[in-house]
Structure 1
Amino acid sequence: MRWRIVIFLFIGMVINFADKMVAGYAAVPIMEEFNLSYTQWGLLSSSFFWLFMISGIFGSALSDRIGTRNLLTIMLLAWSVIQSGAFLVTGVFGLIIMRVALGAFEGPYSPTSNNHLSKWFKPERLSFAISLVNAGSAVGGLICAPLLVLGIQELGWRQTFGVLGAISLVWVVLWLWLGKEKTVSENAGATEVKTMPVPKLKWSETYPVLLSRPFVMVCLMLFSTYWVLVWTQSFLPAYLVKAVHLTPTEMGNFSSILGAAYIVLMILIAWYSDRLFQKHNSLRKARVMVAGIGAILSGVLFYSMTIFTNPVYILIAMILAKAMVHAVFILWVPIALSLLPERKGLILGVGTGCAQFAGVVGPVVTGFIVQFAGTNEALGFDYSILFMGSQLVLAGLVFTLLCKPDVYVRKTVHHSEEVSAG
Structure 2
Amino acid sequence: MNRRAWLVTGLLVVFQIINFADKAVLGLVADPAIRELGLTAGEFGMIGSSFFFLFAISAVVVGFVAARVPTKWLLLSMGVAWAVIQFPMLAGGGAAVLLVTRIMLGAAEGPATPITLQHVHGWFAPAERGLPSSLVAAGSTLGPIIAAPVLAWIIAHPELGWRWAFGFLGVLGLVWSLAWLLVGRDGPFSHTARRRGTAAAHPGLSAHDGGDVPSSASSPETRAGGAGGGTATAAGSPRGTSGSIADRADALGIVPIRRILGTRMFAVAVLAGAGCFWAQGFLTTWSPKYLSSIVAVSPEAIGALSTLPWIVGALALLALGYASRFLMRRGVTVRWALGALFGGTLLVSGVCFLLLPGLQGAAAIAVVTVGAGLAMIYPLAPTAVAFCVSSKQRAAVMATLTGLASLGGVVAPAMVGGLMDAAGYVPAPKGVKESAEMIARLGAGMDTSFWAIGVYLVLVGALSVLLLNPDRTGTRLQERFAFSG
State the TM-score, normalizing by the size of structure 2. Answer: 0.80
**1:397 counterpart residue number:** 462
Alignment of 1:31 with 2:34, yes or no, is yes
- Alignment pair present for 1:64 and 2:67: yes
Distance apart, 1:16 and its partner CA: 0.8
Matched, 1:91 2:94: yes
Partner of 2:429: none
Match of 1:199 in 2: none
Q: Distance in 2 between matches of 1:371 and 1:231?
A: 16
Which whole-Å CA distance do the structure 2 matches of 1:157 and 1:237 have between them? 14
Query: 2:166 aligned with 1:161, yes or no?
Result: yes
**Native 8 Å contact 1:124 1:278 kept in 2:** yes
* One of 305, 310, 314 as aligned partner of 2:361: 310
**8 Å contact kept, 2:50–2:103:** yes
| Amino acid paired to 2:290 | Y
Contact 2:5-2:123 at 8 Å conserved across structures? yes
How far has the Cα of 1:367 moved from its partner? 1.2
Match of 2:179 in 1: 174
Equivalent positions of 1:6-21 (< 5 A) are 6-21=9-24
Instruction: Tell me the TM-score normalised to structure 1 length.
Output: 0.91
Q: What are structure 1's unaligned runs of at least 5 residues?
A: 197-201
Deviation at 1:278, TM superposition (A): 2.4
- The 3-state SS of whatever aligns with 1:327 is coil
The one-letter code of the counterpart of 2:317 is M
Change (3 A) 1:209 1:394: same
Q: CA RMSD in A?
A: 2.3
Q: Deviations over 1:12-50 (max 9, x none)?
A: 111111111111100111100111111111111111111
For structure 2, the 5+ residue unaligned runs are 190-198, 214-219, 221-252, 425-437
From 119, 123, 130, give the equivalent of 1:120.
Answer: 123
CA deviation after TM superposition for structure 1 residue 357, in Å: 1.3
Question: Do 2:273 and 2:381's aligned partners in 1 also have CA atoms closer than 8 Å?
Answer: no
Identity percentage of aligned residues: 29
Q: Distance in 1 between matches of 2:149 and 2:274?
A: 29
Q: Work out which of the two has the higher radius of gyration on C-alpha atoms and give 1 or 2.
A: 2
What is residue 427 of structure 2 aligned with on the other side? Answer: none
Q: How many residues align?
A: 411
Moved segments of 4+, more than 4 Å: 184-187
CA contact (8 A) 2:385 2:398 kept: no
Residue type at the aligned position of 1:352? T
Asked if the contact 2:148/2:307 (under 8 Å) is kept, the reply is yes
Q: Which deviations, in whole Å up to 9, do the C-alpha atoms of 1:246-276 show, x marking residues without a partner?
A: 1121111112344334422321122112222
**Which structure has the highest helix share of the two?**
1
Cα displacement (A) at 1:90:
3.4
Deviations 1:39-67 (A, max 9, x none): 11111111111111111111122122221
Change (3 A) 1:289 1:305: same
Q: How many angstroms apart in 2 are the aligned matches of 1:310 and 1:339? A: 46
Say yes or no: does 1:351 pair with 2:416.
no
Q: Is the 8 A contact 1:48 1:100 kept in 2?
A: yes
Q: Aligned pair 1:280/2:285, yes or no?
A: no
In the aligned structure 1, how far is the partner of 2:387 from the partner of 2:400? 12
Q: Pick one of 255, 278, 287 that aligns with 1:227.
A: 278
Note if contact 2:22-2:169 (Cα within 8 Å) is conserved in structure 1: yes
Equivalent residues in 2 for 1:254-293, closer than 5 Å: 254-293=305-344
